[in-house]
Structure 1
Amino acid sequence: MERHETAAGAPTAAGGTGMGRTAGAGLSVVAARPDAAGAGPAERFAATALAPAAASVAAAAALAERFAAADPAAADLLAATAFGAYGARHLGGAPRQAEPAPGTSWWHGPTAHHTTSPLFRPLGYRRIRREPAAAPARPTGGGRHRKPERPADDRSAGTGLRTAARLLMARPLVTADGPHGAALPLIRRHAEDLAERFATLLGYRLTLGPAHARLHKAPLPGRGLPGLDPAGYAALARALADPAAPAPAAVRALLDDWRPPAELAADLLTAPPLPAVGPEVAVRRLLAETPVVLLDDLAPAERAHLLDAAPAETERFADFLGLTAEIRAEGVALLDPADELTDLALPGPGTLAQAALLLAERLVEDLRPVDADTAPPAVLIPDALIDGTLGDITDDYGMSAGWDAGYLADLAAFRRDALDLLHRMGLAAPAGRNWLLRAPAARYAPPAATGPAVGSGRHSRPAAAVAAVSR
């Protein structure tokens, strides 16, 4: 997946650390009002004191100017830097087989094919949101040295902390009038522990005001706000400072969802950037926010840390967020057993998700490296194979599965959007004008020994041609 230096965090603002308290990274002094010196315990993790209206307007104007001058990719990155409001993203579906031996490649490891393929889902399938299961209790033994069992109220507190943490990872802006406002008391109850854990584990800053909670995330490329272009971002910045300012429909829809109170709007416009972090925290951010972390995508220091500390790092996320890990020769993916902690669903319902998954499955069957010991983290996809495979699956499933007629009539757009979804989920990557199929895609294909013959559809290239290119 595309990497960017800003994944490690924006540089610290001159003259300060961006933290309201020197005792711990990311812990902010709550100041829901200018005279917050006497704030109570529930307010001690709020945003910095409300900026005067003039300061917010000036900040909005400066930010809007930067957005307007940026290209789309730079605008997305600036939005992730300024707002940090993107949701976590993880792959769905977990293999039922036992975890393989260390060093196993995704190309030849356990697959989730039988539980995730669109062929095994009804047309009206919708993912069911449910509370995440609590982490399984560890055996304590029965000897005289065993640790005392945790009281029931301690276990309940741990579950509440995890529920609040998962919500903030999925919805970094929670407002009293927004769709998840009922969770504000839970977040407030665990504010101190949440702020400490987010700051220590990810270098994120949690702020809590009278009517909002905000988890300020670090910027990642490609994680801007959906539906907004540079002009839309500029309009959003102006609307945050002046709700009466004219704004396009996409911005109004976003503000209707956020429903930001005045103190949150000021925080979004004037909060200092997060301080820079080292390789350990940079790797954790990628694990927590992105579907797959490949070793080849990391800087040398980050790669060395993940190679050395992958089991320990994944255990931290299992404890804090209830995520499980696939540790493979090529890298690490964190999965959500509840299949919900993601802003994109793959596997998922709908034309694009189903077609993208089938495309990945068939490309793996055609291009999977034979030698497990020398399998690369990604292989080049012959361009004609993409078109042929997409044509095959459209013939096989398009009409019977009720796929979107617009896509069926415009295979160029279908190809573009299906590849884009695979890219955003870490299963494919652009390489100039070509595309690479990445090893984690194999977790959605049948095991190597059971795949069908190469080039079996009427649009597919002959097997000899595919074999020649894959070599």
Structure 2
Amino acid sequence: MTVLADVLDSQQEEERQRAARALLRHPLLTPARPDPALFALVRRHAAWLADWFAREAGWSLQMDSGVARLRKTPAGHDDGTRGAAVKTRFSRRRYVLTCLALAVLERAESQITLGRLAERILRLATDPQLTEAGVTFTLESAEERSDLVTVARLLLEIGVLAQVAGDEQAFVAGSGDALYDVDRRVLSALLIARRGPSTVAGAGFADRLRAITEDVQPDTEDGRNRVLRHAVTRRLLDDPVVYYADLTEEERTYLDRQRGPLLRRIQQATGLVPEVRAEGIALVDPTGEATDLAMPEEGTDGHATLLVAEYLAAAPAEGRPVPLDELHRHLAAMAQRHRTHWRKTAAEPGAERELTARALHRLTALGLVRMSGEQVTALPAIARYRYAEPTIVGKKDA
């Protein structure tokens, strides 16, 4: 009986860890996407997950038969690498169109066509405040129609829309339309805010963003410690690397005192393995289930990113800013060297700029480099890509 109880406890712990990693990777789950088995697992352990995330990170979990939504509030709002993307990163206009589309869907029936969605967005886009901000949308150009299709595909990907019939490209070409079901449960779970955005007025963008996401805690010692625990845990769970230099003095002091118990609780709940170094901490995901951005990765862009990381890690002076032009020249040379197995366009004149931009975006998102204008500075964690010359051990030939 004791052995059976131990096996069941171990199985339950593994299931909870998988469910926690699923929510970290996909904060919004539905029975249909991205994996019905993950949704069922999260639902089975919803009470435990809700209690753990609320206590350790201050994140609430909404769970019902149609959606699981972990309301992840980031520790900071200055990371520009986590934007929406459907094959390509979103532009400013695409973000605006996404907000307008959600506003339309909030008032729409249970089904809507892409054409009707476009018509209603066009009416909302005439708002004088948008015009003053330099945002226009007329659907007259192919680029604008492409932006609308990209927004529709994002909403399909996250489950707000479900395709019933038709095709987006037919709409763009003017030869047809697309029909969607609207999932109101997913739609209502998208916005994460402590306060309604309409209740915040008269401040700049950064202040408004902070106002709708900040946590209100009692001004007591316990309340202050709770704020620090949530801030540090959010960084550890959400950021690929947490550098001590990026923490406030209070956060660093709290982490120094509570590092052992804090990391044990996280590892036990998620299965992520802490890697502690002199400069900071990273949580390693041995399963890859919570990893949304991998490195190394197959393909031309993945190989180019690895080569840039290796080049920056081998820079003569650690922390020396490297000019962007230097990286362009390096990748141009690498494109010629690897032209037989990279995509054909990678060796064309000027292609190294796009390759470099993609590589640096990934390295920045992974906490391996920091950009400042036309300068790139390698961060300590990039040292794992610094390769030494091999040492051959064995008997010499006679």
Q: Normalised by the size of structure 2, how large is the TM-score?
A: 0.67
1:308: which partner in 2?
257
* Structure 2 contact 332–347 (Cα < 8 Å) conserved: no
Residues of 2 paired with 1:278 and 1:405: CA distance? 50
Moved more, 271-280 or 436-445: 271-280
The alpha-carbon distance between structure 1 residues 191 and 339, as it changes in their structure 2 partners (threshold 3 A), is closer
Residues of 2 paired with 1:299 and 1:324: CA distance? 24
Match status 1:200 vs 2:55? yes
Pick from 321, 332, 335: which aligns with 1:380?
321
Residues of 2 paired with 1:270 and 1:355: CA distance? 36
Residues of 1 paired with 2:104 and 2:64: CA distance? 20
**C-alpha deviations, 1:241-278, integer Å up to 9, x for none?**
54432271122112212223212312324863555262
Match status 1:250 vs 2:158? no
Following superposition of structure 1 onto structure 2, how do residues 194-273 of structure 1 map, counting pairs within 5 Å? 194-219=49-74, 220=77, 221-222=79-80, 223-226=82-85, 227-243=89-105, 244=112, 245-246=117-118, 248-260=148-160, 261-269=183-191, 272=194
**C-alpha deviations, 1:380-428, integer Å up to 9, x for none?**
224554234323322332x133235246441222222222221111111
Following superposition of structure 1 onto structure 2, how do residues 338-349 of structure 1 map, counting pairs within 5 Å? 338-349=287-298
Pick from 111, 129, 152: which aligns with 2:7?
152
Residues of 1 paired with 2:357 and 2:348: CA distance? 13
The alpha-carbon distance between structure 1 residues 249 and 406, as it changes in their structure 2 partners (threshold 3 A), is farther
Paired amino acid for 2:288: D
Pick from 159, 176, 179: which aligns with 2:34?
179
Give ranges in structure 1 of 5+ residues lacking alignment: 1-146, 370-377, 452-471
Match status 1:445 vs 2:386? yes
1:401: which partner in 2?
341
Residues of 1 paired with 2:347 and 2:250: CA distance? 43
Match status 1:413 vs 2:362? no
Aligned residues: 295
Higher relative contact order (CA 8 A, sep 6+): 1
CA RMSD of aligned residues (A): 2.6
**C-alpha deviations, 1:133-179, integer Å up to 9, x for none?**
xxxxxxxxxxxxxx999522222211111111111111111112333
**C-alpha deviations, 1:38-73, integer Å up to 9, x for none?**
xxxxxxxxxxxxxxxxxxxxxxxxxxxxxxxxxxxx
Residues of 2 paired with 1:169 and 1:386: CA distance? 33
Pick from 264, 274, 294: which aligns with 2:243?
294
**C-alpha deviations, 1:426-466, integer Å up to 9, x for none?**
1110123311011111102214x669xxxxxxxxxxxxxxx
SS at match of 2:70: strand
**C-alpha deviations, 1:220-244, integer Å up to 9, x for none?**
4322322333332333234335443
**C-alpha deviations, 1:330-364, integer Å up to 9, x for none?**
11111111234222111111212211111111222
Residues of 2 paired with 1:309 and 1:337: CA distance? 24
Match status 1:284 vs 2:230? no
* Structure 1 contact 351–404 (Cα < 8 Å) conserved: no
Residues of 1 paired with 2:316 and 2:258: CA distance? 31
The alpha-carbon distance between structure 1 residues 402 and 341, as it changes in their structure 2 partners (threshold 3 A), is same
Paired amino acid for 1:212: V
Residues of 2 paired with 1:149 and 1:310: CA distance? 33
Residues of 2 paired with 1:386 and 1:311: CA distance? 40
Residues of 1 paired with 2:383 and 2:233: CA distance? 24
Residues of 2 paired with 1:150 and 1:343: CA distance? 35
The alpha-carbon distance between structure 1 residues 189 and 148, as it changes in their structure 2 partners (threshold 3 A), is same
Give ranges in structure 2 of 5+ residues lacking alignment: 106-111, 122-147, 161-182, 196-212, 216-225, 392-398
Q: Could you tell me how far 1:191 is from its partner in structure 2?
A: 0.8
The alpha-carbon distance between structure 1 residues 295 and 255, as it changes in their structure 2 partners (threshold 3 A), is same
Percent identity over paired residues = 30
1:38: which partner in 2?
none
2:273: which partner in 1?
324
Residues of 1 paired with 2:192 and 2:352: CA distance? 45
Q: Could you tell me how far 1:379 is from its partner in structure 2?
A: 3.0
The alpha-carbon distance between structure 1 residues 270 and 400, as it changes in their structure 2 partners (threshold 3 A), is closer
Moved more, 301-310 or 342-351: 301-310
